[in-house]
Amino acid sequence: MKIKIELFGVSREFSKDNLIEFEMNNNSTIRDIRVEMINYLDQNFNGNENFKKIVNSSAFCSENNNIVSDNYKITKNEKIAIIPPIGGG
């Protein structure tokens, strides 16, 4: 199934399209998406450690605008958003 990852905040640097698409197995989880995104960063950004930290510390949001845990199962083609932590003062 196709999963589209909508990029927000600093994660927009991962793609000029503000979106990354992955082909995933049925019943994949957010944890699986994190792994796939790390692999993508390894291939496209020479394993940029700062980008990896962003993926590992970000929240993910379902199509229904709910923050979802790493155990959230994706059962259909879906658009998931990655929401990086935001710092400010």
Report the chain's terminal Cα–Cα distance, integer Å.
41
Read off the pLDDT of residues 20-49 as tens digits, 9 standing for 90 and up: 999 999 889 999 999 999 999 999 999 899
Q: By the 8 A CB rule, do 62 and 72 touch? A: yes
| Structural domains of the chain, count | 1
Q: What pLDDT score does 89 carry? A: 41
Domain around 29: 2-83
| pLDDT of 18 over the 80 cut | yes
Question: Where residue 13 sits, what CATH number does that domain have?
Answer: 3.10.20.30
Split at pLDDT 50, 70, 90, the class of 87 is: low
| pLDDT of 74 over the 80 cut | yes
Q: Across-strand partners of 75?
A: none
Q: Answer whether residue 10 is part of any domain.
A: yes
Q: Answer whether residue 56 is part of any domain.
A: yes
User: What pTM was estimated for this model as a whole?
Assistant: 0.89
